[in-house]
Structure 1
Amino acid sequence: MRNETQPPAPGSVQTRELIGATLLAAGRPVRLAELSGLLGLGEDATLRAVQAFGEHLASAGLGFTLEAVAGGYRLVVPPGIAPHLAPVLAPPPLPPLSHAALEVLAVIAYRQPVTRAEIEAMRGASASTVLTLQERELVKVVGRSDAVGHPLLYGTTDKFLLEFGLKTLDDLPLLQNEDFSHLLRS
């Protein structure tokens, strides 16, 4: 049990156990500030402890690894091991997104917040797949536009970051100009 009066040392077994237990139990990326508060350490010391924990996992060969994603840290199964786990994983994966849905998602990711009409104008086609993207929790309504009728504004979610392995939206590939055609259509 942790001594409440004194935080654990950043490199201690107790710190490693707390980080591991937290990341395993959370089931979501845990932000550095959250870990810092839990451990009672400053963010620099916590970052060093998390990095040491990641190195420990990598060298121990335990079948999972530390991943920095969506502004936090989580435990994941390395890609080489994942196929062997398919029989025990549930639910079955969703079918892949259609080309149209990926186009709409790309427009939202790069232009957010954006209205459905703006998406349709950029694509030159319907943006009906917005509903599918909302159902998959990849996009959400982030507000209303000041335009006539106050249409809904769409933006991406943390699940979008998770699904595409991005730490932040800044990790999206840079565009050379506002022309999305090279990115969206093959």
Structure 2
Amino acid sequence: MRIVQALEALLFVADSPATPEELAKALSVPIFEVEEGLEKLGGKLQHTSALQLVRIAGGYQLCTKPEFAEAVARFTQPQGSKLSRSLMEVLAVVAYKQPITLGELEEVRGVDSGYGVRQLVERRLVCEIGRKSTPGRPVLYGTTQQFLHAFNLQSLEELPVLNFESQLLPEQIGRDVPPEQPSLLDEGSDGEDGPRLA
């Protein structure tokens, strides 16, 4: 079996990053052969393809190269799928302060954030990860694997430094959106009322 071509085929059809263990199991080969094949595949794509092999959230995925990002975004980005500035604020607070309750989130932002949290849960960027051991046992929220995937992150440790004490700047997280998703941050409104801290 041609391991490099087989890996390329699997990664082409995968809808999320695939780990070496998953690839080895699918191909019935040792993990070291998969790792060697991935290295060769990365080199091959670097010189002959519009795709690149990237490591995301502990797995591997095929993505378009940055120089083609604008054209790909225009072709694939559905209308209304962008994150507004206020949604980016909510997402940034959850990402940096997790686990966090809705009340704690609203204390940071200074504005009702229930709508924003619901929107992010629907987009699978945020999820319930437990309940806080305080009266009422409020829900704790955190980011998902889809969040890491969307922002091309291996882990939360790769998030850029963000200073909440001085000013909440959604651009500081939005600027690191990978080239494959250049229009994730939009300046439009998402229907949330109240003042914004930006």
TM tier, shorter chain?
0.7 to 0.9
* Cα RMSD, aligned residues only: 2.3
**2:136 alignment partner, one of 137, 140, 149:** 149
Alpha-carbon distance in structure 2 between the residues aligned to 1:183 and 1:136:
21
In the alignment, what sits opposite 1:76?
A: 63
8 Å contact from structure 2 (residues 89, 168) kept in 1: no
Structure ID, larger Rg = 1
Gaps of 5+ in 1: 3-13
Alpha-carbon distance in structure 2 between the residues aligned to 1:122 and 1:75:
37
**1:33 alignment partner, one of 8, 11, 21:** 21
Deviates more, 1:63-72 or 1:15-24: 63-72
Q: Which has the higher contact order (CA 8 A, sep 6+)?
A: 2
In the alignment, what sits opposite 2:146?
A: 159
1:37-85 Cα deviation digits (max 9, x unpaired):
334213x44323212211111122x221111112211111223224444
Give, in angstroms, the shift of residue 143 of structure 1.
1.3
With structure 2 as the length reference, what TM-score do the two structures score?
0.75
Alpha-carbon distance in structure 2 between the residues aligned to 1:36 and 1:179:
46
Residue correspondences, number: 170
Give, in angstroms, the shift of residue 18 of structure 1.
1.6
Secondary structure of residue in 2 paired with 1:75: strand
- Taking a change above 3 Å as real, the CA distance of residues 86 and 181 of structure 1, as seen in their structure-2 partners, is closer
- Taking a change above 3 Å as real, the CA distance of residues 92 and 25 of structure 1, as seen in their structure-2 partners, is same
In the alignment, what sits opposite 1:101?
A: 87
Gaps of 5+ in 2: 171-196
With structure 1 as the length reference, what TM-score do the two structures score?
0.79
In the alignment, what sits opposite 1:7?
A: none
Q: 2:127 matched to 1:140?
A: yes
Alpha-carbon distance in structure 1 between the residues aligned to 2:91 and 2:73:
27
**1:46 alignment partner, one of 31, 34, 47:** 34
